[in-house]
Structure 1
Amino acid sequence: MSRILVTGATGNVGRHVVTRLAEAGLRVRALVRDPARARLPEGVEVVRGDLTAPETLAPALDDVEIVFLVWPGFAAKTAQPVIDLIAAHARRIVYLSAHVSDTDEPVTFHQELERSIRHSGLNWTFLRPGGFAANTLGWADQIREGVVRWPYGRASRALIHERDIAAVAVHVLTSAGHGGAAYALSGPERLTQAEQVAVIGEVIGREVRWEDQPPQEARERLLAAWGDATFVDGALAAWSTFVDTPEEVTDTVEKLLGRPALTFRQWAEDHETDFR
């Protein structure tokens, strides 16, 4: 098999994808912005490149058959040139998208990129996870203080462990029969945001309280942290929706991997030191 190129190779999901492919003895190339800081497994070919600068990508795509694409941020400006470049070199693409519907309005960045990929001529597969369990790391400082103030404590989510996303990605990258598939991925259970905080507290052996924060107050804080009003407003709207319409639980992970998806408690145990 020719090389598999993994973008986002030092991120929460990409790092696990690279490691699993390397452990399987496959030829994996990792695209990173700074090779000196990558700290990836021995034997992985690490190359410098930036998806927001398409002119840096041609060397990374040499002799590449399959690309695992994780797009940085939410700006679509350079996406089409990158997809065109990938299509000129590779045969298959597995895109880490998001839990979206083909008919959602307004159209999201992930929908735009999926449409570009569909028309690229590449054999494609989309992974569409819902909420990432790793996003709760944003509460770490508050958890250490014993109180999490955040909006919509009753928002119910089926958060997925990044290791499950990576395991599905590796399965799809290394097996046939996934062309044209869009896999909705989730964890195996729903927990409200307040329940997620309680689970983390139990894992670290410390009582942690939840306090509902007014959405407008949260919006100001998130704007300062994220800097993108559209993304902030979209996140707040989604959390609000999950109060009355909980996030969907799917069995896709179990069907593809032959084992149950990892629970949120298992994720918290894996990340216990991040909250201490």
Structure 2
Amino acid sequence: MMRVLIVGAGGFIGRHLAARLAGEGLQVVAAGRDPKALSRLLPGVEIVSCDLARDGAGDWAERLRGIDAVVNCAGIIGAGADYAGVHQRGAIALFDGARAAGVGRVIQISALGADETGTTPYHRSKRAADDHLARLGADGTGMGWAVLRPSLVLGRGGASAALFAALAALPVTPRLGSGHWQVQPIHVDDLVAILVHLLRAPKALCARLDVVGPQAMSTDELTAEMRRWLGLGLGPEMERAPVLPIPRWLLALVTRAGIGPASPESLTMLAAGNTAPLAPLVEATGITPRPVGQILALHPSTEADLAMSQLTPIAPVMRWLLALVWLAGGLVSLGLAPAGSTDAILARLGLEGAAAVGALWAGSLADIAVGLAILAKRRGASLAGVVLMGGYTAILSAIAPELWTDPFGPLVKNLAVLGLSLAVHALEMRRG
């Protein structure tokens, strides 16, 4: 029975591949930086810990013992990402370790554009690892290899599907740049089918393949396809959907600020075009990927899909608003509130003079710390705010219950902040 190690098994493609291989009875070993998270995502699958950014070829010796094939699905994209460490040095160490361990077949998930035309650090790091794997496969050791370079990969849980579904769910449909940037998306089910075929094939491919769907389409067309999938418009209704053009310079500004799911690299990829001929893929594998509309129809959207698509664009806004509540509360108490406005409340607690000043500063600094932690996306920051707010509410309810009936609702409004805090926490947990 084939034993397959999947590196980056906690990612979008890795999870789908691991589930498919395990369902077909192959022995799957899932490798990633967070073994506990992998165990939750892939119950019943053997888990090993790894860190491509740090591990060398020697670190892979024990992990690769008894492994027949390796699939490297690890990939990162975004501001500050360690492309050289993860995509290049880490992948090269993995490939060297696989050759030393006598692994029979290695498949690398690269990216469309990771060739001589690639200009982004993302593409260059991927290509460096691709080139190294190709050289190893040509040195006479007998290790089979393949490099797959997908276009956009769609499917539940994928960043590309989430981005375009979020655009489609907005009341006004954004037009990215000219609206004519070309993509050639493939569904994750078809990509996984290609991977399974290459793993099971009697003879290794030993080649690089651009992995694309059968239909090149503009970003406008893909957004419309996702809108139809979400049930937000069909036929003439789609034509009447209001469109908001967003010029590239504004998109670049937004991505540099880290707002939204896109990154400067992904924007560059979209603007450059993301298409390739389909025939070489079909000739090499015998598999013809299905059109986006057809395969989306096989996975009908649910209320949860629509709700998540509508939440995604406003999630950063919710986080900023919640942080603003805490920062404003701390800063106003320290420097902007009228002198003596908090003295009466603190006096009810028996705090006066230096003790009152100390309590005021402690509470204000705690508020500011929670606000900064939320802005920094620290896990659990919003729940820490809930605990702090609960403490404030309990104290004020005990010493000044009349605040519950105050016309300005200083305590009643805490209920709205509680709801916002729980929503932000839920979205934080979704990221992890």
* Aligned counterpart in structure 2 of residue 204 of structure 1, from 219, 223, 230: 230
Identity, % of aligned pairs?
Answer: 25
Q: Call closer, same or farther: CA 1:257–1:115 in 2, change over 3 Å.
A: closer
* Higher helix residue share: 2
**Contact 1:51/1:72 (<8 A) preserved:** no
RCO higher in 1 or 2 (8 Å CA, sep ≥ 6)? 1
Give the corresponding residue for 1:72.
75
Distance 1:190 1:50 in 2: 36
DSSP-derived class of the 2:12 partner: coil
* Aligned counterpart in structure 1 of residue 149 of structure 2, from 125, 128, 135: 128
Distance 2:185 2:197 in 1: 20
Distance 1:145 1:191 in 2: 20
Give the corresponding residue for 1:174.
200
Residue 133 of structure 2 corresponds to residue 117 of structure 1: yes
**Contact 2:198/2:205 (<8 A) preserved:** no
* Higher strand residue share: 1
**When the two structures are aligned, how many residues end up with a matched partner?**
270
**Contact 1:197/1:209 (<8 A) preserved:** no
Give the corresponding residue for 1:33.
33
The letter for the 1-side match of 2:10 is T
Give the corresponding residue for 1:11.
11
**Contact 2:30/2:47 (<8 A) preserved:** yes
Q: Deviations over 1:50-73 (max 9, x none)?
A: 222316644422211211012332
Query: Which has the higher Rg, Structure 1 or Structure 2?
Result: 2
**Deviation, structure 1 residue 249:** 4.2
**Structure 1 vs Structure 2 CA RMSD:** 2.9
**Deviation, structure 1 residue 267:** 4.7
The letter for the 2-side match of 1:217 is L
Distance 2:125 2:306 in 1: 31
Q: Deviations over 1:99-134 (max 9, x none)?
A: 236433547222111111123354211111122234
Segments of structure 2 that go 5 or more residues without pairing to the other structure are 78-82, 138-142, 234-240, 308-432
Compute the TM-score of the two structures, normalised by the length of structure 2.
0.56
**Contact 2:181/2:219 (<8 A) preserved:** yes
DSSP-derived class of the 2:204 partner: coil
Q: Call closer, same or farther: CA 1:217–1:253 in 2, change over 3 Å.
A: same
**Deviation, structure 1 residue 87:** 2.2
Compute the TM-score of the two structures, normalised by the length of structure 1.
0.84
Matches for 1:124-163 after TM superposition, within 5 Å? 124-133=145-154, 134=158, 135-149=160-174, 150-163=176-189
Residue 113 of structure 2 corresponds to residue 87 of structure 1: no
Segments of structure 1 that go 5 or more residues without pairing to the other structure are none
Distance 1:201 1:179 in 2: 38
Residue 251 of structure 2 corresponds to residue 218 of structure 1: yes
